[in-house]
């Protein structure tokens, strides 16, 4: 019984350590055409998948926090920071990835 419990705990611990391996990375999601940049400075879903949706939520939340810090520091409206960040992100997007132009996805 003790060996079974130890084995179970070892397997559980290994799975917990490997969890990030199973997570979708932003670069992979972009290169697979699942997500793209928007003029608002945030990511959006190009092709729906639960992993892509979760990834977008996490990254957009971090981006918003960062944009709010910049806006506060520069005494600028958040919308201005978002717009500038969106422009930069879309300009930096490599060929083959998606950007949203006038509400429609375009492959750059």
56-64 long-range CB contacts below 8 Å, 24 or more apart? 59/26
Axis-axis angle for helices 78-92, 50-74 (nearest 10) = 130
Instruction: Match 């409206």 to its residue by tokens.
Output: 77
Candidates 61, 67, 22; CA nearest to 43 is 61
What confidence category does residue 24 fall into, taking pLDDT thresholds of 50, 70 and 90? confident
What confidence category does residue 45 fall into, taking pLDDT thresholds of 50, 70 and 90? very high
Domain residue limits, the chain: 25-107
pLDDT digits (tens, 9 = 90+) for 77-106: 999 999 999 999 999 999 999 999 999 999
Instruction: Match 């996490």 to its residue by tokens.
Output: 58
Residue partners of 37: CB distance under 8 A and separation at least 6:
43, 86, 89, 90, 93, 97, 98, 99, 100
């Amino acid at each position: 019984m003790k060996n079974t419990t130890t084995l179970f705990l070892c397997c559980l611990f290994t799975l917990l350590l490997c969890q990030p391996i199973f997570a979708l990375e932003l670069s992979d999601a972009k290169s697979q055409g699942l997500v793209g940049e928007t003029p608002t400075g945030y990511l959006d879903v190009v092709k729906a998948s639960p992993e892509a949706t979760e990834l977008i939520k996490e990254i957009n939340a971090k981006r918003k926090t960062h944009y709010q810090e910049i806006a506060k520091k520069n005494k600028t409206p958040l919308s201005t920071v978002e717009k500038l960040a969106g422009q930069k992100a879309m300009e930096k997007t490599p060929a083959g990835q998606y950007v949203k132009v006038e509400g429609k996805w375009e492959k750059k």
